[in-house]
Amino acid sequence: MLKHKGKGINRFAAAANAAKTGRSVYADNGVNYNLQAEYPYRVNFYLRPPPSEITIEEFETFALDRLQGKDYAGIWETKHLLTPSLTVLRAIETATVRNRDIKTEIAKTIEEYLPLKSNMSKSDTLYEERRKDHISHFVLRMAYCRSDDLRDWFVKQETALFKYRFEQESLEEKKNFLKHLNLNWKILSNEEKEEIREELEICSRPRQTTNAQAVQDYVNSETFFEVDFFKVPLMVASRSVYVRRGKAYVPMSDQINLVMVEFKNHLIRALEATSKLLPRMEEDDRLKPILLNVEKQYIGRNYDDIGNATGSITAKEVDSFIHHHAPLCMRNLHDSLRADKHIKYGGRLQYGLFLKGIGLSVEEAMVFWRQAFANITDDKFQKEYAYNIRYNYGLEGKRANFKPFSCSKIITSNPPSTGENHGCPFRHFSSGNLEARLRRDNINGAHVDEILDLVRNKHYQLACTKHFEVTHPQNKEKIDNIEHPNTYYELSKRLAEKEKASEGEALADESMEIDD
């Protein structure tokens, strides 16, 4: 599957065959493109691995285009965090939680990064478009099969993408595609329909108002499928289908729900199977770093490359930098530390690693924490706190390079108890305390209500992203959902530097005009 300049190896086919035979199998299918044989339809259930060779560059680039666009290709760099480009899968995620028109967002992003024309277009790019779509799906499948969280996220976004594409197809194309899949859905005969006509009409009334004749005509003309009730849980819950003896009777007009269930279930099983094969596929040294890079795009930069910090800030600068650039979780910890001259272990760990991530060296960290714990003696500080500070910098104990906590880790692990200040304010504050804190930060009522609404719907990271947007009105760029406190800090600091540079340029221009 992967190749440099010589003969290629189809790793996807190898993995599929290895699952059956227990040994590695290599296949070289050449470049005899056959659109009808390989990609007869625009939509794809991805039942088979890609049949053709690809280069290593295509392997990564195709996946990143599908995931989030060309601006993120290569290793994640913070300079890309303010990119205006939307994404494909991430655009779907963002549109969903921000209640945007998903179809519009997908259409805009797909047009640029992952176009798929219909058979009716007769375009000479059909094969390459469908090949790229096929390959990019399988690369992401390999990258996102490692954990339940990654699999759940991937399934959710891919299912939404499939739904969008399926709905774009003509009725004839849909019929041909489903016939090609051979899903073996049972269609009710006229005799079977008559047997349960009354129940079908009752379930059909909401679609056809209460006009009895309209309901009868609808049932007469509609085709109904008999499927296991657990395949359409939402329809069962909304009582829009008749259920009898474990079977649900779904009208043709709701066919999309059946197709979505089939696609989703297949993808879930495929991801589980791929996860079992991953160790074998990663034996290829060319694959592993690419897959890990692609996987990182789910959570953004994880700050595992900070070493022992570079010393870019000093203990004296912490107050100012935190006040102007830190996210609410870190400002809450800083304020508590200044007020109480102490915070408990969970807070020290969360805040200390954050400070390490923004460039506070171990020497400056010792100065900062000693000054912060003003009510204790030097001897007590050295005995009870100095070791842990050095430990977090990899200078004691097992000498591990501990990285700053991500939003996900802060939200989901070690919730704060009474008297503790760590955690995520959007997740762990009461509604009243959070509202009071937001108003104390001079956020206006409409924005406070919007943030609280996001919190009530458990969109904690989006609430933090909204907090960034309303407290940084000078930012005119679109940003991805914030997924790391250090990302928030870097974005804020970069905006301030950009604003300062612009002011400097304006003053320089003004000075030149005076000289003239």
Give the residue numbers of the binding site for [4Fe-4S] cluster.
329, 407, 424, 464
Q: For residues 60 and 312, what is the distance between their CA atoms, to the nearest angstrom?
A: 33
Separation CA 482–CA 370 (nearest Å): 31
Kindly report the CA angle at 449 between 444 and 451, in degrees rounded to 5? 95
Tokens describing residue 106: 């997908």
Instruction: Report yes or no: 35 and 127 within 8 Å, Cβ to Cβ.
Output: yes
Q: Which of 445, 411, 440 is nearest to 428 (CA)?
A: 411
**Phi/psi of residue 187, nearest 5 degrees:** -100, 130
Q: Rounded CA gap, 326 and 322, in Å?
A: 5
On whether the CB atoms of residues 241 and 248 are closer than 8 A, the answer is: yes
Q: Hey, what's the torsion of the CAs at 162, 116, 46, 290, to 10 degrees?
A: -100
Q: Is the C-alpha dihedral spanning 118, 122, 123, 127 positive or negative? A: positive
Q: Give the total residue count for the chain.
A: 516
Q: What angle do CA 40, 46, 50 make, to 5 degrees?
A: 80
Cross-strand partners of 186: 226
Cα dihedral 281, 284, 289, 290, rounded to 10, equals -70
Contact yes or no for 157/298 (Cβ under 8 A): no
One-letter-per-residue 3-state SS of 322-370: HHHHCCHHHHHHHHHHHHHCCCCHHHHHHHHHHHHHCCECHHHHHHHHH
For residue 187, the SS3 value is strand
C-alpha count within 13 angstroms, C-beta hemisphere, residue 189: 2
Residues at the annotated binding site? 329, 407, 424, 464
Q: How far apart are CA 457 and CA 449, in angstroms?
A: 12
By the 8 A CB rule, do 221 and 176 touch? Answer: no
Q: How far apart are CA 3 and CA 53, in angstroms?
A: 7
Can you tell me whether residue 282 is helix, strand or coil? coil
User: Percentage helix, strand, coil, to 5, in the chain?
Assistant: 60, 5, 35
